[in-house]
Amino acid sequence: MRNTFAQAKRIWQQFSHDPRTVVMFIVAPILVLWLFSAMLSTTPGEPRLALVGVPGPVATALDGVAEVTTPALADAESQLASRDIEAIVSMSGTTLTVEVEGTNAGTTARTLAAIQSGLKDMASTQASTMPALDVTYLHGSSSWTGFDYLGPVFIGIFIFVFVFITAGMSLVTERTGGTMERLLVTPIKAWQLVAGYCLGFGVVTIIQAGIVLWASITLIGFPNEGNIAMVILTTFSMAMVSMTLGLLVSGLARTAFQVIQLMILLVVPQILLSGIFDLTNAPTWMKVLSVCFPISHGADALRAVMLRGQGFADIGVNLGILWCFIIAFFALACLSFRSRRTR
């Protein structure tokens, strides 16, 4: 335990002498997440709608949330085809029919969200019944994903990648700098060495995750329906998976270059199958692979908490799987150090 703590303390001291890394640790993920959110949400502020035969109150309500025109149906259809407007809204009975262009999932989601929020406002302020919504697609289908759906996944992914690089480089630096050889000669045991790294980086990671999450939610505007403590717990669990995997990779790699190569091999496929892309219609092997990857479980849990406001009961299984990965990677990392040859 003493050795583990000495190791952790050394890591903290190293951080304290390296303010640039500390700043990078906090600022870089926030900056990237901000860019990501800006990229997906700055595009045209309000959707452009063509209203065809829409009654007054509904038209007024939609005017509040969108850029509204009232062309003839034929004109509206040609505008939609040439993507000059996002949707045609028409009313038949109590049903509001929305025809969207549908090729860009993000645009579709934003348009429908705007219409719905407009109708909701109308229903609440004018005490009138909310018309039913019937959505048709010019192109594409209803299997869209939006920014809200991706946000939590990206938070998880960025933390994962940052922690992986930090952990992966740390031991390689010891190896190339010769301090690894010296450590192996001291009475410290492999598990104490790995545990020391986990403790040292773990504390740093909790602080990092806390600050990044706070900034993402309050400053950038990522959605969060759930308990912030649950979000931090999930993010931290993902970070620990990443750290133990990074330490394992670092134990196997001989150079920093190999760490990057292994990262591309081990982390990029996980990112691709983590839920950024819809796997509903993917082949079975791909779905199986996705379930075998820790990032998928972390992303699932983050979505459950941040989007649906679910608690421990709903994400317990995901978290359990993550911690199984942590234990397995930790054990493997210890084994990779037991091999005593330092060359």
Judged by the rule CB under 8 A, the positions of this chain that interact with other proteins are 2-3, 6, 9-10, 13-14, 17-18, 177-179, 181-188, 340-343
18 versus 134: smaller Cβ distance to other proteins: 18
15 versus 137: smaller Cβ distance to other proteins: 15
User: Using alpha carbons only, what angle is made at residue 310 by residues 118 and 222, rounded to the nearest 5 degrees?
Assistant: 55
Q: Are 138 and 81 in contact (CB under 8 A)?
A: yes
181 versus 278: smaller Cβ distance to other proteins: 181
Local structure of 190: helix, strand or coil: helix
Largest CA distance in the chain: 84
- Taking the complex as a whole, the smallest distance from the CB of residue 262 to other proteins amounts, in Å, to 22
- Taking the complex as a whole, the smallest distance from the CB of residue 161 to other proteins amounts, in Å, to 23
Query: Left, alpha or beta for 186 (phi > 0: left; psi -120 to 50: alpha)?
Result: beta
- Taking the complex as a whole, the smallest distance from the CB of residue 257 to other proteins amounts, in Å, to 20
9 versus 139: smaller Cβ distance to other proteins: 9
- Taking the complex as a whole, the smallest distance from the CB of residue 336 to other proteins amounts, in Å, to 16
Q: Are 320 and 234 in contact (CB under 8 A)?
A: no
- Amino acid type, 153: V
Tokens of 74: 């034929």
- Taking the complex as a whole, the smallest distance from the CB of residue 13 to other proteins amounts, in Å, to 5
Local structure of 146: helix, strand or coil: coil
9 versus 308: smaller Cβ distance to other proteins: 9
6 versus 268: smaller Cβ distance to other proteins: 6
Among 123, 127, 150, smallest CA distance to 303 is for 150
Distance (Å, rounded) from C-alpha 5 to C-alpha 7? 5
Among 162, 153, 147, smallest CA distance to 31 is for 162
- Taking the complex as a whole, the smallest distance from the CB of residue 178 to other proteins amounts, in Å, to 4
How far does Cα 210 stand from its chain's mean position? 15
